[in-house]
Amino acid sequence: MLTIKNLNAGYGGMHILENVNVHIKPGEIVSFIGPNGAGKSTLLKSIFNLCDIYSGKIIFNKNNITKLPTHNLIIEGISFVPQGRLVFSDLTVKENLEMGLYTFHNKDHVKIKIKEVFDRFPILKERQNKLAYTLSGGQQQILAIARSLMHEPKLLLLDEPSLGLDPKTMKHIFKIIQELNKEGMTIMIVEQNAKQAVSISHRTYILEDGKIKLEGGKDILENKKIKEIYFGGR
Amino acid sequence: MLEIKNLKKYFGGIKAVDGCSFKLSDNKITALIGPNGAGKSTVFNLISGFEKKDKGKIFLSSQDITELKPYQISKLGLSRVFQKSRLFNNLTVKENLLISINKDNTQFWNNLLYPNKNKKLFEEKITDVLKLLNITKMKNHIAGDLSFGQKRLVELARAIILPHKILILDEPVAGVNPKIRKDIMKILSILKKQGETILLIEHDMYFTLNISDHIIVMDEGKVIAEGTPAQIKKNKKVLEAYLGD
């Protein structure tokens, strides 16, 4: 579904990713974990063309999508939930959701999708006419995820979906991620909550200093080297 | 040290904080936990003067600070880390720290007349805090270039370096990798031993249960339980409202 070949990327003169190779199969949940500053967010941003790509290729469904404008990537079927609750603060919850379908113009379809999202996240229905900045941090995070689901992406990129969520809501979100996956969505997750992420993922990549250090299945956290670089020998 | 009495704050029809009262013990770490939307961050905003209360009182060292402005409350000894990064993105890490390091010396005349008075002392303080958080190599990086987790660490450094009596931290380890989480736990214990009073909001239960002396649980704008980590772990109300077990 998605192949990243020898990717070098960063911001201006700041080179972050070095020769990164990643392959995602259709229907997979794949996690990316690693220390802060390892380049995990940059990897997701490079797919969504939100950073500078120096060399390398990104292939999505056999199309070369490297440096394709972001709005075209949305039409291709990719959705991105950035880190840290980026919602439109001065729009209502419902308007934020409508923004998720901005490039599509069928109003009836928008209504159907909003209803679906409200079914999944009742708190958003309850708060639909409130301005987004009046939501708590965790509720804003839920809104950001919900907005990304509006146009039914084939590939969903989640940058720390559990950030700032209470334990109960976090479980709910991870359950929803699994449900979406069962419905056929391919999902890439960057997480600090490694145990949760690995437990729902088919495969996991470990990044450090902009390079892929390791790739593995559910037992990847047992690896001694990971315990050192990531958990500090816990 | 810090006491809030019957605090209320409504946003339109939403009762964000609805009659919340608690008291912090000196030289202890207290955690404020509760479901998303329970009103925890709003309590922090009220304490630090970023929101005006609808009702209630807030006392810092027995002084009524309810009507004071954020900078006045900060001068009285309150230091805060926000949920979202609030660093100066165009400045280096060191410059970000310099801004908060000595509030007595930020007055115009002092800066003009004695620009180098405390230079050496500041350098030492900055070196110490960077070392404490293990971010020495980022000293001259532009803050805007740092990753999310790295920014959180710099913010924590900035809050620590600001002279204060009480430190309030809104989700200090959210988005921070497990190794640094452990480091932050150690750092907070060190600060506590040095006599600091700390109030934090955090969803990571491993972190919260291990670091806190006292836990206050909020739901729907009210305090629903209080106690030691051991007591909170057994509290059925908390388990249902918060952990979903």
Specify the pLDDT at position B105.
52
Burial of B37 (0-12, 13-18, 19+ CB in 10 A): buried
Using alpha carbons, select from B83, B196, B78 the residue that is nearest to residue A163: B83
Specify the pLDDT at position B114.
66
Size of the A and B interface in Cβ pairs below 8 Å: 108
Best B177, B217, B239, B243 member to test A by mutation, with max A CBs in 10 Å, is B177
Specify the pLDDT at position A231.
66
Write out chain A residues lying below 8 Å of B175, CB-based.
36, 83-84, 160, 163, 192
Put simply, the answer to whether A139 touches B37 (Cβ < 8 Å) is yes
Residue B35 contacts A where some CB pair is shorter than 8 Å: yes
Of residues B63 and A232, more confidently modeled = B63
Facing A37 at nearest CB: one of B36, B150, B205: B150
Put simply, the answer to whether B178 touches A123 (Cβ < 8 Å) is no
Does the structure show a pLDDT above 70 at A74?
yes
Write out chain A residues lying below 8 Å of B84, CB-based.
84-85, 137
pTM of the model: 0.81
Pick left, alpha or beta for residue B79 (phi over 0 → left; psi -120 to 50 → alpha; otherwise beta): beta
Specify the pLDDT at position A233.
45
pLDDT tens profile A75-118: 899 999 998 778 999 999 999 999 988 877 788 888 999 999 99
Does the structure show a pLDDT above 70 at A16?
yes
Specify the pLDDT at position B107.
61
Specify the pLDDT at position B51.
93
Write out chain B residues lying below 8 Å of A165, CB-based.
36, 203
pLDDT tens profile A106-130: 888 889 999 999 999 999 999 999 9
The Cα–Cα gap between A213 and A195 comes to: 18
Facing B147 at nearest CB: one of A41, A170, A194: A41
Put simply, the answer to whether A35 touches B179 (Cβ < 8 Å) is yes
Specify the pLDDT at position A234.
40
Proportion of chain A above pLDDT 90, given as a percent: 69
Arithmetic mean of pLDDT, A123-152: 91
Q: A155 and A2 in contact (C-beta within 8 Å)?
A: yes
Name the residue of chain A whose CA is nearest to B38's CA: A136
β-pairing, A186-190 vs A29-33, is parallel
Facing A168 at nearest CB: one of B39, B41, B244: B244
The overall average pLDDT reported for chain A is 91
Q: What is the pLDDT along chain B (245 residues), one digit of tens a residue?
A: 899 999 999 988 788 999 999 999 999 999 999 998 899 999 999 999 999 999 999 999 999 999 999 999 998 999 998 887 789 999 999 999 988 876 555 566 666 666 666 777 888 889 999 998 889 999 999 999 888 888 988 999 999 998 889 999 999 988 888 888 888 899 999 999 988 999 999 998 889 999 999 999 999 999 999 999 999 988 888 888 787 65
Does the structure show a pLDDT above 90 at A137?
no
Put simply, the answer to whether B179 touches A194 (Cβ < 8 Å) is no
Residue B178 contacts A where some CB pair is shorter than 8 Å: yes
Does the structure show a pLDDT above 90 at A228?
no
Residue B144 contacts A where some CB pair is shorter than 8 Å: no
Exposure class string for B187-212: b at 16+ Cβ within 10 A, else e: bbeebbeeebbbbbbbbbbebbbebb
